[in-house]
Chain A
Amino acid sequence: EAQVTQNPRYLITVTGKKLTVTCSQNMNHEYMSWYRQDPGLGLRQIYYSMNVEVTDKGDVPEGYKVSRKEKRNFPLILESPSPNQTSLYFCASSSAGLNNSPLHFGNGTRLTVT
């Protein structure tokens, strides 16, 4: 089944403790992206990647890192999480940019930073 898989689904952590949220897609998509979703603000893009070893900042990249060493994986790294990073995070992929191709989303990771 074609899908985007994020792990974990739920994560509670403390300020400053490094964490990684994994994302994997099995559709051989070039484009991958991370979003955070907050009430009233909609989905905001954190980082995106056009292909292996190619990443770029979205609208809200501060406090986050990503890597794209393999086509299928695009982990999101929070080196020193803070409470304002408490949010619902989504990973998404697309076959080729966004012109004609829809985004396929994972089921989300709900992160709480205390």
Chain B
Amino acid sequence: SQKIEQNSEALNIQEGKTATLTCNYTNYSPAYLQWYRQDPGRGPVFLLLIRENEKEKRKERLKVTFDTTLKQSLFHITASQPADSATYLCALVGAYNNNDMRFGAGTRLTVKP
């Protein structure tokens, strides 16, 4: 069956360090991968999109990689700040059905001052 797994439920890091979140998938052929941020009591907010033929995408302090051989995406936040504390969700859009978007359960990131 199709599975999307994010590395851990929770990740705690010190302010200023780089946070690295992992999204692994099985039995899936995504054409696109998206990352979202979700704060408590709010809906997810889009951060970055990366296509299957792109290796890396950057936006300010955020970087996403997409390795279709390893079936993995890494999401990095450099120079992390307490304001980056949130839950981060990865979402995959299917190659054969672009209305099929599936989400991982999310990783809750806490950045300590």
Listed in ascending order, the chain A residues whose CB lies under 8 Å from chain B are 4, 31, 33, 35, 40-45, 48, 50, 56, 59, 90, 92, 97-100, 102-108
Contact = CB atoms under 8 A, between A and B. Distances in A.
A90 B32 CA distance: 21
A32 to B, nearest CB: 11
A108 B31 CA distance: 28
Contacts of A45: 101-102
B37 to A, nearest CB: 11
A4 B44 CA distance: 12
B43 interface: yes
Interface of B: 4, 9, 31-32, 34, 36, 41-46, 49, 89, 91, 93, 98-106
26 contacts: A4-B43, A40-B9, A42-B103, A42-B105, A43-B91, A45-B101, A45-B102, A56-B99, A97-B98, A98-B32, A98-B93, A98-B99, A98-B101, A99-B31, A100-B32, A100-B49, A102-B36, A102-B46, A102-B49, A103-B34, A103-B44, A105-B44, A105-B45, A106-B43, A107-B42, A108-B43
A62 to B, nearest CB: 18
Contacts of B91: 43, 103
B43 A102 contact: no
A98 B98 contact: yes
A9 to B, nearest CB: 9
Contacts of A104: 46
